[in-house]
Amino acid sequence: MTEDTYHKSRIANRRLHPETLMMGYGYSPAMSEGSLKPPVFLTSTFVFENAQQGKDFFDLTAGRRELKPGEKSGLVYSRFNHPNMEILEDRLAIWDEAERCAVFASGMAAIATTCFAFLRPGDTIIHSRPLYGGTETLLKNQMGAFGIKAFGFTDGLDIASMRVTANAAAAAGRVGMILVETPANPTNGLVDLAACKLIADELERTQGYRPPVVVDNTLLGPKYQKPLKHGADLTLLSLTKYVGGHSDLVGGSISGSAALVKQVKSWRGSLGTQLDPNSCWMLMRSLETLDIRMHRANENAQRVAEYLANHPKIARLHYLGNLSSDDPRKTVFERQCEAAGSTFAFDVKGGEKEAFALLDNLQIMKLAVSLGGTETLVSHPAAMTHSGVARELREEIGLTDALIRISVGIENIEDLIADLAQALEAV
Ligand SMILES: *Cc1c(COP(=O)(O)O)cnc(C)c1O
């Protein structure tokens, strides 16, 4: 395909960076009255020039035929596609270093639609543990109702134990998909993506179907981790978190090869899990500052982690930025992640009482679930996001009653440390 001017990603031989491309890629002012910024296209449907064009656009949108050389497809109806969704997907695909991207009404909508695309009754799914609470419920309860069984592994660094889980899953049914979260929330456990790829390759040989390796990359986001480079087939984001970044919208995305994303998009069209024009527009605005927001949050988090590591009332830190050289996560961290990010957890000395005392005395940091916003949020996973996780599994993964999760924002770092200092005094 010839590159149109608004999909320009190079100057001569120079490949432009995402930070640069976020300001204009995929949008043509000439198509919208010269407007510098894309309008919000509030329309449910699109007018065809003639009946033949309507027929062609429907055939192409439904995937009944491929584009002919020089042919362009067009928009049909906003459940399938709309201009704001198209521009947003083009820009996110750049961050994810993917051929294609599809966006959804939420992170859970992206995960659920992907499950519908690749899982069939009687299938099994292999997943890492712990999972985001919503994903856990979807796999265990909702997908379970369709006869799909979930098999979890806890040590994502040990391929032998991952294989034990994979074999158990394969014995119970066709493995339809491998879904992993790395780093895991809230303890920052890592999953070796090269090992996941190996297991998918082995399953392809034994069962004649390749289960896609799907990575939930919400915690580090597309700036600090590119799962497709390390063995994943699809990378998934809750856009609600770092990409949206202002705690003011809900959205999700999945990126990968055109062939795989097409399968998921087909289900999105049937289920109606697409993202609305207004949220797409807000996300385009957010993408313009993704790089600087994540950079600042990452720097702030490093300072907060250093402060906590040296504080006498802190028992333990689950932070990827200061792994000791004998930590088993170190090699995988250095291979897969470009930074430690700004969401991590720590244990105060004591238990729930001491953790609650710290949380209740903070004056700047807000007590709320979610992460990745401009403001610093703190929460108590055992009593909140992970209260549904069995105590046994919580203990296995180190999710104690003294554990606090923090998502460090972009405030002034001295103010943040002063807030922690005064709250810790009250513990
Ligand atoms: C928030 C989150 C989700 C779900 O995303 P929503 O946008 O809330 O639907 C999935 N995975 C992880 C790791 C998350 O943090």
Domain boundaries, the chain: 289-426
Convert the pLDDT of each residue in 153-176 to its tens digit: 999 999 999 999 999 999 999 999
pLDDT at 114: 98
The residue contributing the CA closest to ligand 1 atom 2 is: 238
Ligand 1 centre to CA of 148 (Å) is 21
Ligand 1 atom showing the smallest separation from residue 110 Cα = 9
Sign of the alpha-carbon torsion through 342, 158, 216, 287 = positive
- One of 3.90.1150.10, 3.20.20.100, 3.40.640.10, 1.20.1290.10 is the CATH number of 289-426, namely 3.90.1150.10
Convert the pLDDT of each residue in 87-101 to its tens digit: 999 999 999 999 999
Q: How confident is the model at residue 1 (pLDDT cuts 50, 70, 90)?
A: very low
The residue contributing the CA closest to ligand 1 atom 1 is: 238
Convert the pLDDT of each residue in 94-131 to its tens digit: 999 999 999 999 999 999 999 999 999 999 999 999 89
pLDDT at 274: 98
List Cβ neighbours of 33 (8 Å cut-off, separation of 6 or more).
none
Tokens of residue 248, six digits:
């003011």
The C-alpha atoms of residue 168 and residue 165 are separated, in whole angstroms, by 5
Cα pseudo-dihedral 266, 268, 272, 274, rounded to 10: -130
User: What mean pLDDT is reported for the chain?
Assistant: 95
* 185 touches 130 (CB < 8 A): yes
Ligand 1 centre to CA of 218 (Å) is 7
Convert the pLDDT of each residue in 342-376 to its tens digit: 999 999 999 999 999 999 999 999 999 999 999 99
Q: How confident is the model at residue 187 (pLDDT cuts 50, 70, 90)?
A: confident
Average pLDDT value for residue range 200-228:
97
pLDDT at 2: 46
Query: Pick from 186, 179, 114: which is nearest to 153 by CA?
Result: 179
Average pLDDT value for residue range 310-338:
95
Ligand 1 centre to CA of 407 (Å) is 14
Residues forming beta bridges with residue 127, ordered by sequence position? 152, 179
The C-alpha atoms of residue 361 and residue 424 are separated, in whole angstroms, by 8
Q: What is the pTM of this model?
A: 0.96
Residue with tokens 């894309």: 38
Residue type, 421: A
Ligand 1 centre to CA of 4 (Å) is 35
Average pLDDT value for residue range 235-247:
98
Provide the 8-state DSSP code for 269. Answer: H
Backbone phi, psi, residue 208, to 5°: 75, 15
* 151 touches 127 (CB < 8 A): yes
pLDDT at 3: 57
Ligand 1 atom showing the smallest separation from residue 370 Cα = 1
The pick from 106, 115, 131, 132 for probing ligand 1's pocket by mutation, whose C-beta has the most ligand atoms within 8 angstroms, reads 132
Average pLDDT value for residue range 49-75:
92
Average pLDDT value for residue range 418-423:
98
Ligand 1 centre to CA of 158 (Å) is 26
The C-alpha atoms of residue 215 and residue 367 are separated, in whole angstroms, by 28
Rama region for 300: left / alpha / beta (φ>0; ψ in -120 to 50; rest): alpha
List Cβ neighbours of 1 (8 Å cut-off, separation of 6 or more).
none
